[in-house]
Amino acid sequence: MDGIEKITARISRDSEEEIRAITETAQKRAEEIRLGYEKEAEALSSAIKFKGKLAAAERKEQLAGASQTEVKKMMLAVKQDILDKAFQKALQELSSLPEEDYVALLTDLAVKGTRTGREQLIFSPTDRTRFGKKVVTAANSRLEKAGGKAALTLSETSRPMKGGLILNDSKVEINCTFETTLRLLRKDAASRVATLLFDETPARF
């Protein structure tokens, strides 16, 4: 009995020592694994943060570029809108000139637009009735004084237009309507108008 107790006691003691040794080894291994995972996690976290910073910086740059582009588009739209209104106002002012100034303007357009001195002058229905004959007479008078051909006539027809006139010699028409004149003027003067309106180097419109 004593022998059995001694044997079991020794086995128990040996088992406890073995278990303690295994436990210590397991704990050390677990600690090594934990530290390894922590380092790997830190490295992975740093990599993710770095990539995140790069992605964030790239996205910020993209957004900044998109924002600048959008602002430029908005500014261009605003400038174009203001220029449109400026030229619309010019058209309204031309069409509402006092009669004497209006006839003088139409006469000037006819004299500068003629190529042969024999064209027919085409007006809007209202202008033809109110100012047609006056303009023809005044234009021929100026052409005659300048020593040129003075045989402009009033056309029997009229055209829909805001103002101005068209010179027709049966082969060629010279469009001197306010709409066309302002459209051509806008191409040449848009940059100067933009400079006056915005006090900056203008974009092309």
User: What is the distance, to the nearest Å, from the Cα of residue 24 to the centroid of all Cα atoms in its chain?
Assistant: 73
* pLDDT of 85 over the 80 cut: no
Strand pairing report for 153-158 and 120-123: parallel
CA distances from residue 152 to 146, 148, 160, 190 in whole angstroms, order as listed:
14, 11, 21, 33
In a domain, 65, yes or no: yes
Residue 165 — φ and ψ, nearest 5°? -160, 170
* pLDDT of 156 over the 50 cut: yes
Same domain assignment for residues 183 and 91: no
Q: Tell me what pLDDT residue 203 has.
A: 47
The per-residue DSSP string of 146-180 comes to: TTS----EEEEEE---SSEEEEE-SS-EEEEEHHH
Same domain assignment for residues 125 and 170: yes
Summarised one tens digit per residue, pLDDT across range 178-197 is 888 888 777 765 666 556 55
Confidence of residue 91 (pLDDT cuts 50, 70, 90): confident
Q: Tell me what pLDDT residue 3 has.
A: 37
SS3 content of the chain, % helix, strand, coil (to 5): 75, 10, 15
Q: 0.85 exceeded by the pTM?
A: no
Rounded average pLDDT over 57-70: 65
Question: What's the domain count of the chain?
Answer: 2
In a domain, 28, yes or no: yes
CA triplet 83, 167, 94: central angle to 5 degrees? 35
Q: How many beta carbons lie within 10 A of that of residue 135, not counting itself?
A: 27
Owning domain of residue 164? 97-198
